Amino acid sequence: MSAASTDCLERKCAAAVQKLVDLKINFLAIDFDQTMIDIHTGGRWKGTTAELNEHMRPLFLHLVTLATANSIRVAIVTFSCQTDKIREVLELSYNSTIADLIPIRGCDKTWSYEGCGMKCGKQQHMASVVEELQRKPMLGVGEVTKRSTLLIDDDPKNIRMCLKDGVRGVWFNPRDGERLLDDILRLK
């Protein structure tokens, strides 16, 4: 990526994050396969972490960094069981202050959601993160609600479920990642 296009992408990400701030969105839930990274691992990645990290979309490097700087908490919500691998990718992509603040909810059994909210799609993943955020006030995020949450996911089923549950969601087009930024600017 040239310096000019990196600059342009960073500016567009800054505008999108400003929009999130204006809408009082304080929790960004991001899918991993085909969204944060540009491939589908199916939770069966056999290569190295560095090789997987090459698939990180530059868009999310800027978006997550800027969101964190604006006190918006970010989490990875995924059906992949390779959460250790994902953690390593986050550590390679972001500085540790940012990476350490990103909870991951995958299909491993390291977490559970006992609440009475919707459990389909990514809803229980997000609800579980919200429980963690509210338990740790030092993370500096105020009350997280359905309207202050935004799911970004390439699977339309998850977005449909999310909208049905009253949570904000934006479908991520894996073939046109930057469209996400325009879609965020269109949120009301």
Nearest to 153 by CA among 96, 101, 83, 105: 105
Phi-psi region of 71 (alpha: psi -120 to 50; beta: other; left: phi over 0): left
Q: What are phi and psi for residue 56, nearest 5 degrees?
A: -65, 130
Q: Is 29 helix (H, G, I), strand (E, B) or coil?
A: strand
Nearest to 150 by CA among 178, 130, 169: 169
Residue 65 to residue 13: CA distance in whole angstroms: 10
* 33 is a site residue for Mg ion (CB under 5 A): yes
| Residue 124, number of CB atoms within 10 A of its CB | 19
Q: Which of residues 151-170 bind Mg ion (CB under 5 A)?
A: 154
- Minimum distance of Mg ion from residue 46's CB (angstroms): 19
Residue 113 to residue 128: CA distance in whole angstroms: 5
* 31 is a site residue for Mg ion (CB under 5 A): yes
- Minimum distance of Mg ion from residue 3's CB (angstroms): 30
* 34 is a site residue for Mg ion (CB under 5 A): yes
Q: Cβ closer to Mg ion: 53 or 173?
A: 173
Query: Stretches 19-27, 30-38, 58-66, 113-121: which one binds Mg ion (CB under 5 A)?
Result: 30-38
Contact pattern from residue 135 through residue 154 relative to Mg ion, giving x for each residue in contact according to CB under 5 A and a dash for the rest: -------------------x
* 57 is a site residue for Mg ion (CB under 5 A): no
* 37 is a site residue for Mg ion (CB under 5 A): no
Q: Cβ closer to Mg ion: 148 or 158?
A: 158
- Minimum distance of Mg ion from residue 34's CB (angstroms): 4
Q: Cβ closer to Mg ion: 76 or 99?
A: 76
Q: Cβ closer to Mg ion: 104 or 141?
A: 104
User: What is the DSSP pairing of strand 27-30 with strand 73-77?
Assistant: parallel
Residues near Mg ion (CB under 5 A): 31, 33-34, 154
